[in-house]
Chains A and B, each alone.
Chain A
Amino acid sequence: MTLDPNALMFVIRQCVQELNKQLTAAERLGDSPETILAGEGGKLDSLSLITLLVAIEEAVGKNFAIKLSVLDEEMLGADDGPYRTLGSLARWIAERAA
């Protein structure tokens, strides 16, 4: 299935908004594709990153009716993996859905 990139980013942004409710003002994420999630410059701790990934996984399943595992613990510590930015995450999800 090909996911519409705009629709996917919209869903991801909604999940970011939900996560931001739990973050302090200094920690809150922006919603541009360049927003850093993990690695150098990232502000999220592991709980926040996991929370975001699981929320996106559920939202993708609900909105696009596809079952896709977004959380991969082996990639959590990677500086340059799909969790690097919102944009890289969206591309990775789209590739796996296709």
Chain B
Amino acid sequence: MIAPNRHFTVISDFNATPLARLLGNIPELASATIDVAPFNQVYQSLSSPATHEQDVGVIWTLPERTLPTFARALDMEEVEFDDCLAEVDEFAEHVVSFAADRSQCFVACWAKPIGHRGYGLLDWRPGVGIANLIARMNLRLAERLATAKNVYLLDSTQWYLGVDRPTAPKMWYAAKVPFAAIVFERAAADIVAAIQARSGQSRRLLVVDLDDTLWGGVVGETGWQGIRLGGIDHVGEAYRDFQKALLSLSNRGVQLAISSKNDELVAFEAINNHPEMILRRQHFAGWRINWSDKAQNIVDLVEELNLGLGSVVFIDDNLVERERIRSALPQILVPEWPADPTEYVSALRSLRCFDTSTISSEDRNRTAMYVAERERREKRRTVASVDDWLLELAMRIEVRPLSQAILPRVVQLLNKTNQLNLSTRRLSEAELLDWSTSPNRRVFALSVSDRFGDTGLVGIVSFQVDGVVGQIVDFVLSCRAMGRRVEDAMLYLAISHLRKMGAASVRLRYLQTPRNNPTLQVLRNLNLTEVEPHVFEHGCADEFNPPPGVSIEMPELK
């Protein structure tokens, strides 16, 4: 369930009932209520207050019915583009105001009526053409809506690209429904994907097979020189383009891994040596290349990468392997895969499960972080004790108070971290900022680096004091930083500050979820007293030392 008990309002200047009905039939929205605002009363509906702060808005308008100047432009009257853009500004202002007391709002971008050729060869001429005007309107709308962090402009043009008959003229005249059912289905799918992305449910790891998936042929039989990849062969070119598409996913923060039934040395001969390989060893966060069952291999791989099975997508050309993973590991998304490799790129690009609501430089560099983590693990195997290993890592932790500069990244981490998360609060940027402004509360973010590289912003600690009782509210750590005693540093930070703020004791209340059992294990290993089940305490007068060998840069205690 991604939007439990939420109330959706669909606002439109056409009959959007098909969209509302499709949304209502999506299992992930089973407990949501979905209402369609009164027909063609867009501005009136945008002025209506939310019934609850978790309400969701969906706004889909036809520009010729909402913007009078655009309607005149579509009738081939001469118009001033600036007049139209002023109407866009007014519309955007209403949307931002509407979204202010709601959790999130999705707005469909505008498109020229399908089949309307506008001014033909002049249609992109500035100041004249309809295509030019619509492009400017959408850019203006995007700029104005960017001021509201909970408003997202969706690319509606994707909903009718490639559809044979995207409009339904008879449905328009009979019922004011402008689009064919498939257009509404795609819109509903995008809206659900957007909500999942906002809820931190994006998939983060893509596990791929090798033979006939990354290249054509079986490398164990042909040798690396014999695989079909690149060159002047249309199938080889398709595989190469598929690798490029996978790399582009990696560039936006999705990790790649391999699960293949092969000899590992032979497979890496191809990966390392084939001149047309796009993906090399350094592009993969991990791999299991052996003759064992793929289901167990993937479980081991996911554990190694400190992720959950719900983060994973599995792509394999072999239907038997796909069915094996589907039945053994139902939490993994296994998309149906085309038999023809020339369709691999479009199949990959059609997946919505990787959509995220923010993107940072850390996301883009995540693979490098995983590679560094692999090197840390390999180093760990050569060193006798954890403390010796920490000394070898020469870890540095930088602690920063919450600020506007790091707020998006902090909220992203808060909302998507499951395994090490004390209370699993899910907050918007506005909500966290508002919470943190109370004088008895603090929020700190931790960034970690060591001699293998920079892991980035990985931890959040928030706490509050009431009288002499201090309480840690958020204790969040990214799975890629677990096991390096960063948890000790976080607790040291909190106790030090709470002591200064007048607390005599520090309390942590563990709120159990299906996925945060590792948090309980960490708390029990942290030398705290479990005063009642799942409630831990530490006296501020008692010693709590930072982890040895770790340099902590902390702001001055206030």
Contact = CB atoms under 8 A, between A and B. Distances in A.
Contact of B22 (A21, A54, A73): A21
A54 B25 contact: no
B180 to A, nearest CB: 9
B18 A22 contact: yes
Nearest to A25: B25
Contacts of A47: 15, 17, 175, 177
A54 B181 contact: no
A18 B185 CA distance: 11
Contacts of A73: 174
Contact of B171 (A21, A22, A23, A50): A50
B394 interface: no
Interface in B174-192: 174-175, 177, 181, 185
Given A22-B18, A24-B24, A24-B25, A58 B174 contact: no
Contacts of B21: 22-24
Contacts of A23: 21, 25
Given A47-B17, A51-B175, A21 B185 contact: yes
B38 to A, nearest CB: 15
A69 to B, nearest CB: 9
B168 interface: yes
B382 to A, nearest CB: 57
A71 interface: yes
Given A22-B181, A47-B17, A71 B22 contact: no
B144 to A, nearest CB: 33
Given A47-B15, A47-B17, A54-B168, A22 B25 contact: yes
B165 interface: yes
Interface string B137-174: 00000000000000000000000000001001011001
Nearest to A19: B181
A71 B175 CA distance: 12
A73 B15 CA distance: 18
Contact of B175 (A24, A50, A55): A50
A74 to B, nearest CB: 13
Give the interface residue-count category, chain B. Answer: 10 to 19
Nearest to B24: A24
Interface in A43-81: 46-47, 50-51, 54-55, 57-58, 71, 73
Nearest to B176: A47
A55 B168 CA distance: 9
Nearest to B182: A18
A46 B15 CA distance: 13
Interface in A15-47: 18, 21-24, 46-47
Nearest to B15: A47
A21 B181 contact: yes
Most buried by A among B15, B21, B22, B181: B21
A50 B175 CA distance: 8
Given A22-B18, A22-B21, A54 B174 contact: yes
A51 B18 contact: yes
Contact of A21 (B25, B170, B174): B25
Contact of B170 (A18, A22, A24, A71): A71
A41 B174 CA distance: 24
Contacts of B17: 47
A2 to B, nearest CB: 25
A57 B171 CA distance: 11
A71 B174 CA distance: 9
B17 to A, nearest CB: 6
A18 B24 contact: no
Nearest to B25: A21
Contact of B174 (A18, A22, A24, A50): A50
Contacts of A50: 171, 174-175
A54 B181 CA distance: 11
Contacts of A54: 168, 170-171, 174
B33 to A, nearest CB: 13
A47 B15 CA distance: 10
Interface of B: 15, 17-18, 21-22, 24-25, 165, 168, 170-171, 174-175, 177, 181, 185
Closest 5 CB pairs of A and B: A22-B21, A54-B170, A50-B174, A50-B175, A54-B171
29 contacts: A21-B185, A22-B18, A22-B21, A22-B22, A22-B181, A23-B21, A23-B25, A24-B24, A24-B25, A46-B175, A47-B17, A47-B175, A47-B177, A50-B171, A50-B174, A50-B175, A51-B175, A51-B177, A51-B181, A54-B170, A54-B171, A54-B174, A55-B181, A57-B170, A58-B165, A58-B168, A71-B170, A71-B174, A73-B174
Given A51-B177, A58-B165, A58-B168, 7 more contacts: A21-B185, A47-B15, A47-B17, A50-B175, A51-B18, A54-B168, A71-B170
